[in-house]
Chains A and B, each alone.
Chain A
Amino acid sequence: MNPNLKRLRRSMMFLNCQKPGLIKDPYIYAPDSIMLDLEDAVAEREKDAARYSLYHALQEIDYRGVERVVRINGLDTDLWEEDIRCAVAGGCDAIRIPKTETAEDVRRVENAVIAAEKEFGREDGSTLIMAALESAKGVMNAFEVCSASERLFGIALSGGDYTKDLQTTISGTGVELMGARQHMIIAARAAGVQCFDTVYTNLKDMDGFRRDVETIHTMGFDGKSIINPRQIPIVHEIFTPTEKDIIFAEKVVREIDTKKAQGIGVFTVDGKMIDIAFYDGAKRTLALAKASGVYKGDL
């Protein structure tokens, strides 16, 4: 299994492949992932140009451990297969499929990725996949999409197209996204993959952005798509466990470890009833804290 399937992906930042100034050093903002875009951000007549830039960026720029996801063009275009050849040859970490609606969409991409890995001598299975759901049908099929491939690490909501399909618009309140968000996080968890929220496009409203991130964090999402580096510190702040969370999680893990040895099943930590069901959550908190650089302990 590719060890990167479950890596930390709080912030996934879109970058237009066609803009050299954007793709040369986004790592200084420390996003968890960048999404090098060949699709919507790139003008129709520059689709070819974006690929050459992508290939050399992947080959020559040291992104310093930031995950490099490539968003390919839609499966309804004649561009996506060459996009995959270029991205896999360049050595990207993952492919993001836009407008995914069915498990079959994922498998078509998977097959093209397998062929490209073979053609360019990349290790089999080294290229992961994520799927963006951008329509009512895609959202309804979330579980089958999540379960379509061993390489698929997660699904992402793409709110712009999705709300159009619902015949509404982005209101800023999140009401129109509620159903999709709820359905997708449930499907993703049921399938054991990650789930990412859509972009927040109003850069002037940083408070609204913060509320949006708090909402999806509470809902259980793993991270959010980002369109500007200014948004990254806010996402990381919200997704980073607080010192209180970390201390509590540490106690839970230690207590469960010792109490289990003593044959005790239920006990209290800081006045809260704790049993084995808390173990995985506490472990996850510590892993997230460690990955976020705020926990240097040994649990």
Chain B
Amino acid sequence: MKNAVGREIPEEILSLTGKEPFQGNNYKEGVPFQRSAPTVHPVMDNQHSKIVQSIREALEKCNAHDGMTVSFHHHFREGDLIVNMVMNEIHNMGLKNIKLAATSLGKAHEAIVPMIEDGTITSIEASGVRGKIGEAISNGKLQGLAIMRSHGGRVRSVFSGETKVDIAFIGAPTSDEYGNLSGTGGKTNCGVISYSAVDADCADYVVAITDCLVPFPNYPAQISMTNVDYVCVVDAIGIPEKIATGAAKPTTDQRKLMMAEYCTQVVVNTPYFKDGFSYQTGVGGASIASTISLTRIMEERGVKMGFGIGGLTKPMCDLLEKGLVNVLMDTQAFDLDAVTNIENPNHYYITASEYANPFNKGAFVNKLDYVILASLEVDVHFNCNVVVGSDGIITGAQGGHPDTAQGAKCTIVICPLLQGRIPAICTDVTTVTTPGESVDIVVTDYGVAVNPNRPDLLEALQKADCVPLKTIEELRDIAYSITGTPDPVEFEDRVVGIIEARDGTIMDVVRQVKPL
């Protein structure tokens, strides 16, 4: 059956998962549902200790069993040691058929590939996967399905009980012996641990893993002791220098600077750019450069931002230090500046649910004016693909892409026209992650295209005469004229993964790639 973005969703996948095909962004608006509640093991005895001596002990005390679901956060990004530490122990215990429900998985976790191959891990839920894990899934090594969800979509899934977490492992830069957790103050800091909040609320067992035990009470706590069953102290939870993956020097690449300048021109020449506007951007070179050039124009014109949100980086924190933004709402710190800037009283920790969950009573993303995003591919329907490479292999993560794109009044996607020989602007994306109805403007090094469903934005940009405007088809044609028309990637019939829409419907499926 074809869904609202024209993707064929096989009947057997619909019946296997009980899911519906994607029907449009606001399909579930106001549709009531019952929240899931965890099984709680109360602690009343004042002699009770939550400290366990090892991951193994924690697993045993939490009744680890075949077929269980374990969850993790990805705040340590490529410096994460927790996932491998716990999965190795699960593997050593000989447990099978595990569902690994991480907020995201990266190259730091390639050690789990053999566990996929030997049936220890049989299904994966994550924002996305990269490297060898992606290759393993795309080559059909995972017995069950990989479900890729946006950050908001994951909260929805746990919130609604669709993902029932048996044990949540929360890597915590600091913890006290009673499980008050924080993203700062330790030796492996990540600033915030926003993505674990829902796991702490909804998992049957919650295990904090820390390498820095601090005196009780560890306050202010981002995750409360009231939700934590056990605390395990280990030598290291992460590798600090690999956590700050976004700590890039400002780019000197003129191509990125050009795209950044186009992006800034788009922002300042569209109607939402006025005092009190709200803004989110990413960690790519062009995104960071555009925040820097936007800062310059804000200073010139005396326009202040109301709130900035998201994964935060130095240029966003600089806005706060300069008094150019009232508050920052932080779900993820991409560099060390963002990690330490949390100490600024106007830099707030928020949970992933507050950030982007479509199934609460309104999330921050709904209040965004602008979001600046990247994409692997954008097609002439403005659909974006941020998960599957043009070669058909899973290689990226949804992140907050679909959440912020739907929420923001003006969604800008920056992407160079060509990635090597691969045209990023194409006729049909390999796999849809964010529907075209959420995407308003595409900025490339060859020009800027406005979604025809936003004639208001097009008119504003035409009037301002500030960027080279093209249609999305023109951009696609330029790309193909340079590279040649790409052949469609050939897939097997077997579905190995699902790209889930925010609301739990199916945006697209990912199939096994044909061997070369």
Instruction: Tell me, yes or no, whether A and B come into direct contact in the complex with CB atoms closer than 8 A.
Output: yes
A residues bordering B, Cβ < 8 Å? 24-25, 28-29, 62, 203, 228-230, 232
Q: Is the CB of A25 within 8 A of B254?
A: no
Contact A230 B257 (CB under 8 A): yes
* A203 CB, nearest partner CB in chain B, Å: 7
* Contact indicator B254/A229 (Cβ below 8 Å): yes
Least CB distance, B219 to chain A, in whole angstroms: 46
* Interface status of B370 (Cβ within 8 A of chain A): no
- List, sorted by A's number, 5 A–B pairs whose CB atoms are closer than 8 Å: A24-B482, A25-B482, A29-B255, A203-B252, A230-B252
Residues of A near B481 (CB, < 8 A) are 62
Q: Report Cα–Cα, A25/B257, bound state, in Å.
A: 16
Docked-complex contact B482 and A230, CB < 8 angstroms: no
Interface assignment of B258: CB less than 8 Å from any CB of chain A: yes
Give the complex CA separation of A29 and B253 in angstroms.
Answer: 11
Contact A228 B254 (CB under 8 A): yes
- Which 9 pairs of residues, A with B, have the shortest CB-CB distance? A229-B254, A230-B254, A28-B445, A29-B254, A28-B446, A230-B252, A28-B255, A230-B257, A228-B254
A28 touches B482 (CB 8 A): no
Measured between alpha carbons, how far is A28 from B262 in the docked complex, in Å?
Answer: 13
Q: Which residues of B contact A203 (CB under 8 A)?
A: 252
Provide the B222-263 mask, 1 if CB < 8 A to any CB of A, else 0. 000000000000000000000000000000101101100000
Number of A-B contacts (CB under 8 A): 19
Q: Which residue of A lies closest to B420 (CB)?
A: A21
Among A25, A62, A203, A232, the one with the most B-chain Cβ atoms within 10 Å of its Cβ is: A25
| A residues in contact with B446, CB < 8 Å | 28
Q: CA A128 – CA B481 in complex, angstroms? A: 29
Cα A25 to Cα B418 in complex, Å, equals 10
For the complex, would chain B's binding face be called helix, strand, loop or mixed by DSSP majority?
A: helix
Alpha-carbon gap, A24 to B478, bound state (A): 13
- B180 shortest CB reach to chain A, Å: 47
Once the chains are docked, how many angstroms separate the CA of A104 from the CA of B482? 41
**Distance, CA A205 to CA B254, complexed state (A):** 15
In whole Å, how far is A183's beta carbon from the nearest beta carbon of chain B?
Answer: 33
Q: Is the CB of B258 within 8 A of A29?
A: yes
Task: Select which of A24, A28, A228 is within 8 A of B258 by beta carbon.
Answer: A28
Q: How far is the CB of A23 from chain B (nearest CB, A)?
A: 13
A232 neighbours in B (Cβ, 8 Å): 254
Nearest-Cβ distance from residue A234 to partner chain B, whole angstroms? 11
Chain B residues with Cβ under 8 A from A29's Cβ? 254-255, 258
Q: Besides A228-B254, A229-B254, 4 other CB < 8 A contacts?
A: A28-B258, A28-B445, A229-B255, A230-B254
Q: How far is the CB of A204 from chain B (nearest CB, A)?
A: 9
Report the separation of the CA atoms of residues A203 and B252 in the bound assembly, to the nearest whole angstrom.
10
Chain A residue numbers with a CB within 8 Å of B445 are 28
Q: Which residue in chain A gives the minimum CB-CB distance to B446?
A: A28
Q: How far is the CB of B265 from chain A (nearest CB, A)?
A: 13
| Bound CA–CA A106/B446 (angstroms) | 38
Chain B residues in 8 Å Cβ range of A228: 254
In the complex, chain A residues whose CB is within 8 Å of the CB of B257:
230
**In the docked arrangement, what's the CA distance between A229 and B418, Å?**
18
Docked pose: A228 CA to B252 CA in angstroms: 10
CA separation between A25 and B445, bound complex, in Å?
10
Instruction: List the A residue with the shortest CB-CB distance to B444.
Output: A28
Q: Whole-angstrom distance from the CB of B227 to the nearest CB of chain A? A: 51
Nearest CB to that of B252 among chain A residues?
A: A230
Instruction: Specify which chain A residues have a CB less than 8 angstroms from the CB of B418 in the assembled complex.
Output: 25
- Cα A244 to Cα B445 in complex, Å, equals 31
What is the CA–CA distance of A228 and B482 in the complex, to the nearest angstrom? Answer: 23
Set of chain A residues within 8 Å of B252, measured between Cβ atoms: 203, 230
Min Cβ gap A152→B in Å is 31
Residues facing A in B459-516 (CB within 8 A) are 481-482
CA gap between A109 and B446 in the complex, in Å = 37
Within 8 Å CB of A28, what residues of B? 255, 258, 445-446
Report the bound CA distance from A25 to B446 in whole Å. Answer: 10
Residue of A with least CB distance to B447 = A28
Q: How far is the CA of A230 from the CA of B482 in the complex (A)?
A: 23
Nearest CB to that of A29 among chain B residues?
A: B254
Give Cα A289–Cα B418 distance, bound, in whole angstroms: 32
A24→B418 CA distance, assembly (Å): 11
B257 nearest in chain A by CB position: A230
Nearest Cβ on chain B to A224's Cβ, whole angstroms: 16
Q: Report the separation of the CA atoms of residues A25 and B255 in the bound assembly, to the nearest whole angstrom.
A: 11
CB distance from B416 to the nearest CB of A (A): 10
Nearest B residue to A228, CB-CB: B254
Assembly CA distance A65 to B254 (angstroms): 20
Cα A25 to Cα B421 in complex, Å, equals: 12
**B482 to chain A: which residues have CB within 8 Å?**
24-25
Report A236 CB to chain B, min CB distance, Å: 13
Contacts of B254 in A (CB 8 A): 29, 228-230, 232
Rounded to whole angstroms, the CA-CA distance of A229 and B256 in the bound complex is 11
CA distance A44 to B258 in the complex (A): 34
Closest-CB distance, B453 to chain A (whole angstroms): 28
Cα separation A289 to B380 with both chains bound (whole Å): 36
CB distance from B129 to the nearest CB of A (A): 29
Interchain nearest-CB distance for B486 vs A (Å): 17
A228 CA to B481 CA, complexed, in Å: 26
| Residues in A neighbouring B258, C-beta threshold 8 A | 28-29
Query: How far is it, in angstroms, between the C-alpha of A62 and the C-alpha of B254 when the chains are bound?
Result: 20
B285 to chain A minimum Cβ distance, whole angstroms, is 13
List CB contacts (< 8 Å) of B421-447 with chain A.
445-446
Closest chain A CB from B289 CB (angstroms)? 12
Q: In the complex, what's the smallest C-beta–C-beta distance from B133 to chain A, in angstroms?
A: 30
In the bound complex, what is the Cα–Cα distance between A232 and B482 (angstroms)?
A: 24
Of chain B, the residue at the smallest CB distance from A229 is B254
Query: What is the CA–CA distance of A203 and B258 in the complex, to the nearest angstrom?
Result: 17
A62 to B477, CA, bound (A): 14
| A172, B371: Cα distance in complex, Å | 42
Q: Shortest distance in angstroms between A241's beta carbon and chain B's nearest beta carbon?
A: 18
Q: How many Å lie between the Cα of A67 and that of B482 in the bound state?
A: 19
Within residues 283 to 314 of chain B, which ones have a CB less than 8 A from any CB in chain A? none
Complex CA distance for A29 and B252, rounded to whole angstroms: 14
A147 to B125, CA, bound (A): 74
Minimum CB distance partner of B255 in chain A: A28
How long is the Cα–Cα vector from A24 to B206 in the complex, in angstroms? 54
Q: By CB atoms of chain B within 10 A, which of A24, A28, A230 has the most?
A: A28
Nearest B residue to A230 via CB reads B254
**Distance in Å: Cβ of B44 to nearest Cβ of chain A:** 65
A62 to B258, CA, bound (A): 20
- Over the window 442-460 of chain B, the binary record of Cβ atoms lying under 8 Å from chain A Cβ atoms (1 yes, 0 no) is 0001100000000000000
Q: A24: nearest residue on chain B (CB-CB)?
A: B482
Complex contacts, B255 vs chain A, CB 8 Å: 28-29, 229
Q: How far is the CB of A206 from chain B (nearest CB, A)?
A: 10
A229 neighbours in B (Cβ, 8 Å) = 254-255
CB distance from B3 to the nearest CB of A (A): 36
Distance of A230 Cα from B251 Cα, bound (Å): 11
Question: Chain A: which residue is nearest B416 at the CB level?
Answer: A28
> In the complex, what distance in Å separates the CA atom of A228 from the CA atom of B258?
13
Nearest CB in chain B to that of A28: its residue? B445
Give the distance in Å from the alpha carbon of A24 to the alpha carbon of B446 in the complex.
13
In the complex, A62→B481 CA distance in Å?
10
Min CB distance A255 to B, Å, is 30
Residues of chain B within 8 A (CB-CB) of A230 are: 252, 254, 257
Q: How far is the CA of A229 from the CA of B257 in the complex (A)?
A: 10
